[in-house]
Amino acid sequence: MSTIVRLPEDLCNQIAAGEVVERPASVVKELVENAVDAGASRVQVDVGAGGVGVLRVTDDGCGMDEADAPLAIERHATSKIGHIDDLLALRTFGFRGEALPSIASVSRFVLRTRTRDRDEGVEVACEGGGSLRVAPCGMAPGTIVEVRDLFFNVPARRKFLKAASAESAAITSALDALALSASELTITLTRDGRAVKQWLRASSRKQRALDARPDDRLATIAGQRGPLRVEAYLGPPELARSGAVALTLLINGRVVRDRVLARVIAQAYGSVLEPGRYPAGVVFVDIDPQLVDVNVHPQKAEVRFADGRAVQDAVFAVISEGLAGAFGIAPPSRAFAPKSHGQSPGAVLPAPVRPLAASCAPNVAFGATLDKGAVGEPDPWGLAPLAAPAAAAMQPPLPLAAPGRPVDAAAFAVSTTDLSYSALRFVAQMRGTFLICEGPDGIVILDQHAAAERVTFARLRASYRSHAIASQRLLLPLTMQIDAVEAAFLDEHQAEVGALGMELRPIGPTTAMVTAVPQIVARAAPERLARDLLDEVRRAGGRSFSDSVDLVLATMACHGSLRAGDAVTPDEVIALLEALDRVEYAGHCPHGRPLLMQIKFAELERQVGRR
């Protein structure tokens, strides 16, 4: 075993930088939050080469004197806290004293600052966390932090950064969130010397939220439960998005990620919001700082509540009641909200499994129908060229047994490996959702949407791999609102989006135009199709576009397939069953949900007392 040694200061700073500074947007977040803590009313952000070349943040806050400025570049030197008890009463964004030294350790760093009672300022400079150079300088009161050549001394980290347009878009997105955190702050962003966007100070949180989401038709919801107050501005269910990318959650003014609370907010809409979809909007949760711990994440992007279940209950109650008045939505029961799983009050609830794409929820008439072929066509599903590999085994959910009769699990199990769908005899459609078929060993019940979605997905996937997804042009082009991150993605991936059969391109910093959609899903709503495509890629995080294609195709298949509630003819069901025999993993929809279950005749006979 090697001898234990103390790590040098510069290496410690680079290790800390790896946690705090992921990309230029992380630097902007830390510096603007410092400006807010310093009481600034105006912040200027200048970006060059996506923030990698140069990034400058100027504020009119209180500034620092010649004694404090050099200390600000030292690790764990801060004016925010002084004792351990201060961690339980935090009202500032920063408190660890890690941001500035971490940034300085991976860049060519210059800090200029001046207090209002001094005639001159002080400049502190260093490169890669090296020795500090301190000198007087002339400047207006406030602080200027200039960061050049980010990650110049960490090339392995630099190569993971994205294109300049994508990094610039991430900075814009970070400033969007920071503007919601501090409505009294005016933020101006320039990119490569050109003014890009300005967030003017707002009179209230409400005005800031409405200014940030002008097209989301936000309704105001507010209420209080004990020490917790909720102030929410949420859109109607028809504008919900795939994933929580359009839902911003702030705890005590700090933008955080909390999948459980996001899920609770979505479930407050009840059955009118499909599973896997989340409303657009902004939710402020204010709580006594002693009841929330913000010191659980390097970037302070997550929090832990003293009583997580109580917070969920309160948020659910306030929002569900408010939605009833705002959109006429019947308040759902508390059963919609996630369970505490028996954890202790201080424990963090596990995040629910993230849906892969738009939901496959039944009883939602979306307007997209089966891609029907003419009766009598040999292959109306267009799947003849596909091979028929062995499908995966599945484990369908078990129904409840009759009183006093235990259920034999084997009686409901069915392996799709040996199942021939085309050999089934279609009997009836039930509740516009389930296809009842007779098989050699029992009754087979198929979810018509899940089955059709699997077939549509297979067809889309085969066409994509052969570069042959046909497009259908819209009679009238459709315009839609996008954000900077989505605009950067479309700029960078026009060819890949076109390969999916979509013609979707940005026509401005916040606007995109849809001119064509994949022919196989032409009956789906174009805006929702485009919106979910962008959401799915965005939720894929750092993965490349090619890694996200199956998720996008699954979303498109969901929109372009037979829906629950659609009537079908026997010929259409026969065509669907024959198509299922020619696709991979025909026992599950693309999102992994089983599409059928079987009730064996032997179990039916046992239930009615015949054996």
Pick from 482, 556, 477, 552: which is nearest to 522 by CA? Answer: 556
Instruction: Measure the CA–CA gap between 497 and 489, rounded to whole angstroms.
Output: 10
What are the pLDDT digits (tens) for 319-367? 999 998 888 777 776 544 444 433 333 333 333 333 333 334 333 322 2
What are the pLDDT digits (tens) for 505-520? 988 888 899 999 888 8
Q: Which letter does DSSP use for residue 342 in this model?
A: T
Place of tokens 């002339």: 138
Q: Which fold has domain 9-199?
A: Heat Shock Protein 90 (3.30.565)
Are domains 9-199 and 469-559 of this chain identical in fold? no
Place of tokens 């509740």: 431
Instruction: Measure the CA–CA gap between 137 and 120, rounded to whole angstroms.
Output: 6
Assess contact for 520 and 459: CB atoms under 8 A: yes
Q: Tell me yes or no: is domain 205-336 CATH 3.30.230.10.
A: yes
Whether 377 has a pLDDT exceeding 70, the answer reads no
User: Is pTM beyond 0.75 here?
Assistant: no
Assess contact for 187 and 174: CB atoms under 8 A: no
* Token representation of residue 82: 């002084």
Assess contact for 598 and 442: CB atoms under 8 A: yes
* Domains in the chain: boundaries: 9-199, 205-336, 469-559
| Sequence-separated contacts (24+) of 73-76 with Cβ below 8 Å | 73/100, 73/101, 73/104, 73/109, 73/111, 73/124, 73/126, 73/132, 74/101, 75/9, 75/12, 75/13, 75/16, 75/101
In the predicted model, what is the mean pLDDT of residues 522-542? 78
* Token representation of residue 576: 């669907």
What are the pLDDT digits (tens) for 166-225? 899 999 999 999 999 999 999 999 999 999 999 999 999 999 999 998 888 999 999 999
Q: Which residues contact 508 (CB under 8 A, 6 or more apart)?
A: none
- List phi, psi (to 5°) of 139: -170, 165
What are the pLDDT digits (tens) for 121-173? 999 999 998 899 999 999 999 999 999 999 999 888 888 888 898 899 999 99
Assess contact for 115 and 65: CB atoms under 8 A: yes
**CATH code of domain 469-559:** 3.30.1370.100
Instruction: Measure the CA–CA gap between 541 and 550, rounded to whole angstroms.
Output: 15
CB atoms within 10 A of CB 104: 27
For 143, the 3-state DSSP assignment is strand
Q: Which letter does DSSP use for residue 463 in this model?
A: H
Dihedral angle over CA of 249, 250, 256, 259, nearest 10? -30
Alpha carbons within 13 A on the beta-carbon side of 561: 30
